[in-house]
Amino acid sequence: MASFRGRSIVSIRDMSLEDLDMIVRTTEAVKGGKYSGFLRGKTVATLFFEPSTRTRLSFESAVCKGGGSVFGIADPAASSQSKGETFADSIRTVSGYCDVMVIRHPVEGAARMASELCSIPVINAGDGANQHPTQTFLDLFTIKEQLGRLSGLRVGMMGDLKYGRTVHSLTHALSMFGNELTFISPPTLKMPDHILAELQGTGLSFRTVDNLEDAAGAGLDILYVTRIQKERFGDPQEYGKVAGTYRIDRDTVRMLGEDIRIMHPLPRVDEIDEQVDATPNAIYFVQAHNGIPTRQALLGLVTGGIE
Ligand code: CP
């Protein structure tokens, strides 16, 4: 059986199918009320060097619900990094203050570096445009909860597939379970070649299109929409060329069919009309709320409070 005790969670690429299954099953048990108090006596630090609402607050809520203590940095300007302290020195210092560190950082590889600098588990809460593994865990849990399975699904991913770390992690996980993927983006924001090459190596069925109508033709079970990641564009004019490219409204949902599930890691800007929120197809707020049991499960596993 997969063991998580003491383990850092940096990338979906480090996970086996058994690991992912274990996280989903543990989340089901946590949400079903099986465990309580499994973080008692544990302290978790949340170090966020990039903005966040869902990830930081759901981690903090998860710690509180598990009976643990949490502290952290929500604004890097209020930390000693603003005085010139290196990332490495901050990590070495804080690792002596807690049992688990949760880190979000704009630089790809920052969480990996932190995990190599200290002996406590480090959880990657998003490193630049690279990976967002805990978002994928909650996405998988939500898909299983809503559709009853994690394989044999037709999943469209739409929007900023170049800079969107959520879709990079999710693509890898869904390919492990055996799903049919369709990537919908403007040509300048397509899924990075190294991820497409990796998919080709798996022999899995996937295609890339630049409009939703083409994707809808073959039928989709899930449309996973992402925000265009304005903060990752070096040139604001380049952002201006793709901003507002896609917008999902009630007509789009109708075109996609009554069984389509619309997911989004949030925050959204303008890519999903608020009128869609009230449809039974919209599951993005359920998805966001599943961040709590998923992160409770993960923290329980890495601290050994859940075995
Ligand atoms: N989904 C997600 O990572 O949201 P936040 O940026 O609000 O944490």
Residues 24-62: pLDDT tens digits?
A: 999 999 999 999 999 999 999 999 999 999 999 999 999
Distance 127 CA to ligand 1 centre (A): 12
| Separation in Å, CA 113 to CA 11, 88, 108, 118, 150 | 12, 8, 10, 9, 31
- CA–centroid distance, 51 to ligand 1, in Å, is 8
* Ligand 1 pocket residue status of 124, Cβ below 6 Å: no
Q: Which atom of ligand 1 is nearest to the CA of 56?
A: 8
Structure tokens that stand for 37 in this block: 């108090």
Q: Are 97 and 72 in contact (CB under 8 A)?
A: no
- Cα(246) to centroid of ligand 1, in Å? 20
Establish whether residue 55 lines the binding site of ligand 1, counting it when its CB lies within 6 angstroms of any ligand atom: yes
185 touches ligand 1 (CB under 6 Å): no
CATH topology identical between 12-131+291-303 and 133-288:
yes
- Conformation bin of residue 153: beta by default, left when phi > 0, alpha when psi is -120 to 50: beta
Residue 203 pLDDT: 85
Q: Say what the pLDDT of residue 174 is.
A: 97
Q: How far, in Å, is the centroid of ligand 1 from the Cα of 53?
A: 6
CB 80 within 8 A of CB 92: no
Nearest alpha-carbon partner for 174 in 221, 111, 239, 104: 221
Contact assessment for residue 79 and residue 104, using Cβ atoms and an 8 Å cutoff: no
CA distances from 217 to 156, 212, 214, 297 (A): 12, 9, 5, 38
Q: How many residues can be counted in the chain?
A: 307
Whole-number pLDDT of residue 215: 87
Domain positions in the chain: 12-131+291-303, 133-288
Which tens digits make up the pLDDT trace of 234-268?
A: 888 888 888 888 999 999 999 999 999 999 999 99
Distance (Å, whole) CA 68 – CA 65? 8
Let me know: does 257 contact 281? Beta carbons within 8 Å. Answer: no
Residue 63 in contact with residue 44, Cβ under 8 Å?
Answer: yes
* Closest to 261 measured CA to CA, from 155, 152, 132: 155
Residues of the chain with pLDDT under 70: 1-2
**Tokens matching residue 297:** 């499960």
Q: Retrieve residue 305's tokens.
A: 């409070």
What beta strand segments (E) does the chain contain?
Answer: 43-48, 69-73, 100-105, 122-127, 154-158, 180-184, 206-209, 222-225, 261-263
> Residue 237: its pLDDT value, please?
85
* pLDDT of the residue at 1: 59
DSSP 264-300: --S--SSSB-GGGGGSTTB-HHHHHHTHHHHHHHHHH
196, 261 Cβ separation under 8 angstroms = no
Query: Residue 71: phi, psi to the nearest 5?
Result: -145, 170
Which CATH superfamily groups domain 133-288? Aspartate/ornithine carbamoyltransferase (3.40.50.1370)
Give 208: exposed, middle or buried? Use CB within 10 Å, 0-12, 13-18, 19+: middle
The fourth-level CATH superfamily of domain 12-131+291-303 is Aspartate/ornithine carbamoyltransferase (3.40.50.1370)
